[in-house]
A and B are shown apart, each in its own frame.
Chain A
């Protein structure tokens, strides 16, 4: 079993309820359990790479959410665990993201390089 390319495209699905993105969370858990992988953020998920996101403030009546999702920090943790994290540059450009907002260590790649990433990995999981 070699390296998995995790392509994350579905973004902010249930992140407030879950207090994280369930695919980013699973990626972290799998890395902790010995699975080698890379992460490619595309579509709306490129926003996961943006530093300083603040999802705090959710409250229903007197019940306040005290641990909101911090997906940018979760991405930074993956980078610190030597998981290569890529962002599709065109998808970032489309959303007005120049790259300077990104978590340190993230690599922006042109869409044309995705096929090369696929070739470099043994399995591709598209979320």
Chain B
């Protein structure tokens, strides 16, 4: 019987290793049959932006096709696909106010708009919660 994990992520794409680490945890949990609800807060709402595009690498002289540059929206799309295959459920909620103040709201299929009430309900209903915040020494 899978457990329920809530995870809050906060970094924008390509900001730190936190996002990749968080997605690896999501993948591991799904792989083991656990349900995961991700709450994307602050810059993390841009992780699922539909308009992300791979780019070429002029330093290496490779085209976009050769480079196969990863985008976070493709990684997350793959996690949604993976969850369909093994019975574990992936939910993804983008903080609506965080989206509004940043602008772009065109996401891949899967994420929903929500806010702290959804996060609170998910935390209360989950077996555990992990927050992966943006950390700065400022």
Interface residues of A (CB under 8 A from B): 1, 4, 9-14, 22-23, 26, 29-30, 32-35, 44, 123, 125-127
Contact = CB atoms under 8 A, between A and B. Distances in A.
Q: Which of A4, A11, A13, A126 has the most CB of B within 10 A?
A: A13
Q: Which of B125, B126, B133 has the most CB of A within 10 A?
A: B133
Interface residues of B, number: 21
Interface SS, B side: mixed
B42 A22 contact: yes
A12 B133 CA distance: 14
B116 A30 contact: yes
Interface in B100-138: 115-117, 119-121, 123-126, 128-129, 131, 133-138
A99 B115 CA distance: 35
10 contacts: A1-B126, A4-B123, A10-B134, A10-B138, A11-B138, A12-B138, A29-B115, A30-B116, A30-B120, A44-B138
B124 A126 contact: no
Contacts of B92: none
Given A4-B129, A30-B116, 13 more contacts: A1-B125, A10-B133, A13-B136, A13-B138, A26-B41, A29-B120, A30-B119, A30-B123, A35-B124, A123-B129, A125-B129, A126-B133, A127-B133
